[in-house]
Chain A
Amino acid sequence: MSKQEKLLAEKTVGLKPSGIRKFFDLVSEMKDAISLGVGEPDFDTPWHIRDEGIYSLEKGRTFYTSNSGLKELREEIAAYMKRTQGIVYDPVGEILITVGGSEAIDLMFRAMINEGDEVLIPEPSYVSYVPCTILADGVPVTIPLKNENEFRLKPEELKAAITPRSKILVLPYPNNPTGAVMEKDDLEAIVDIIIENDLYVLSDEIYGELTYSGKHVSIASFPGMKERTVLVNGFSKAYAMTGWRMGYACGPREILAQMTKIHQYAIMCAPTTSQYAAIEALKNGDGDVAEMRESYNQRRRFVMHSLAEMGLPCFEPQGAFYVFPCIKEFGMSSEDFAARLLTEEKVAIVPGTAFGDSGEGYLRISYAYSIENLRAALGRLSKFVKRLRGEN
């Protein structure tokens, strides 16, 4: 046994390094690259929200809060869930404030998974579902989604992945990296399968407010689903608050109780300053969200138009702030494409494979940038694409 194996936990050492990390190292060597690779808003947190955070510091509110978070914040979240989704959560026992949505994902897995339980993970999707499943002794079962379905999860795909050990289904919509959404009909089509197979759902709705085709619908709003769904959301994307690390989970009392227990021992409570800011966001931030959503929507159309002009096929995504064009025509891997684009045109775009093997042949383009930035970067991409076509 080598020294390293003794020193470190095998489970952790065995985790695949994040594909995005590898690309990040490449990019950081490139000083003057322009990027379309960011997974966070370009807006600053609206001033009134920042101001509440500052005020809470001035007032000396620098203590711990209760483990589950400030009661006023949980009440605001309950009110938000009621007015946007029509779901009634008890702020006492059914809502937990976490350090970003990502903590809530980790907590849900650790609260529910017994060794060997299977977690169904549609892919491409956010980078943490698989490793968090493994760390919780679960078995990740990925469901490769298809471009022709606009990367929505189809009932037959779900059915085919279910085994007697299936326990949790991750529903990451609106989706990072594809920008896909699951509309009401799409969800309706899988609800019965979920209930019949006694699955629980981790519904990661962090991009819920950034939906461009009507209002976001949560799976938890369907009859019989609130009881089997842990709804994860947060402030990062909707209110441009990534650095505040503010997320939350809403769900059945018995699951939340165990999640809270882990949170209590491992984290204690989410940052107090951020919690005060988050209260302000929910109370007076609707206008900001609407304004940012409109901006993203305009950029989304701009990017889609540019891709169409350069002839890169891409389904029209209706959520988050990503588009996921297909580059299969060039016969190179996503990673090679991204690496060449970076060295030759100095544009950083994340290869689709950073979000799972089924992202092969695609790129994730983030449009959390000003139109000017998008124009410059897409101009270079267009030049690159033309050159590649000339080579073939």
Chain B
Amino acid sequence: MNMLEEKVLGIIEKNSRVSTREVAIVLGTQEIEIINALQSLEEKGIICGYHTMIDWDKTDIEKVTALIEVRVTPQRGKGFDEIAERIYKYPEVNSVYLISGGYDLLVTLEGRSLKEVSSFVSSKLSTLDTVISTATHFILKKYKDHGTIMARKEEDQRELITP
């Protein structure tokens, strides 16, 4: 990855809707360079998607997020990869991380209700052969997510004019 690509990532990580023209302006280069950089980053799989940060708590749509600690028995020759794959293929699963420490996989899950999430854990996750145990934690409030603080930003409190 070159310097330009790194800078492009720095900008679009914070705002993926910024135009290629504007990125070119602020980085002092040509728009075509930015388009090429984005294409190359996408091809290399470094950019995996352009998502939107949504604070669902502010909508009237019910959503619950759970963090599930999963202990599993690693399989010979495959380690944790196969069991991880079996888990991440469920569309309701948001993320799967292999973790060091007291348990093996950290799974985050989104559902419409506690019941929906619980039933996924009890009927699908726990019943996998290699899963030894699970512990489910429901998220009560998101303060900060993906580096973004959910609370409303304070207004600029500086004096309008200063020397």
Residues of A at the B interface (CB closer than 8 Å) are 18, 20, 23-24, 27-28, 33, 35, 37-40, 42, 126-128, 176, 294, 298-299, 301-302, 305, 348, 350, 354, 371
Contacts and interface: CB of A to CB of B under 8 A. Distances in A.
Contact of B25 (A127, A128, A302): A302
Interface string B3-39: 0000100110000000000100111100000000000
Nearest to B11: A298
A38 B26 contact: no
Contact of A35 (B11, B25, B26, B160): B160
A348 B27 contact: no
Nearest to B18: A371
Nearest to B156: A42
A337 to B, nearest CB: 15
A40 B26 contact: no
A38 B28 contact: no
A24 B161 contact: yes
A338 B163 CA distance: 15
B44 interface: no
A348 B159 CA distance: 11
B161 A20 contact: yes
B146 interface: no
B162 interface: yes
Contact of B163 (A28, A39, A302, A305): A39
A348 B25 contact: no
B161 A37 contact: yes
Interface in B41-60: none
A199 B53 CA distance: 58
A350 B26 contact: no
A127 B160 contact: no
15 contacts: A20-B162, A27-B161, A35-B161, A37-B161, A39-B163, A42-B156, A294-B10, A298-B11, A298-B27, A299-B26, A301-B25, A302-B26, A305-B25, A371-B22, A371-B26
B159 A38 contact: yes
A298 B158 contact: no
A168 B163 CA distance: 23
Report which residue of B26, B156, B159 has the largest number of chain A beta carbons within 10 angstroms of its beta carbon.
B26
Contact of A348 (B22, B26, B28, B160): B160
B158 A348 contact: no
A4 to B, nearest CB: 26
B162 A39 contact: yes
B30 to A, nearest CB: 12
B27 A38 contact: no
A38 B158 contact: yes
B71 to A, nearest CB: 35
Given A40-B162, A301-B25, 11 more contacts: A18-B163, A23-B161, A28-B160, A38-B161, A39-B163, A127-B163, A294-B10, A302-B25, A302-B26, A348-B161, A371-B26
B25 to A, nearest CB: 5
Contacts of B22: 302, 371
A24 B161 CA distance: 6
Contacts of A24: 159-161
A33 B160 contact: yes
B163 A20 contact: yes
Contacts of B158: 38, 40, 42
Q: 7 closest Cβ contacts across the A-B interface?
A: A298-B26, A37-B161, A35-B160, A39-B162, A24-B161, A305-B25, A127-B163
A38 B25 contact: no
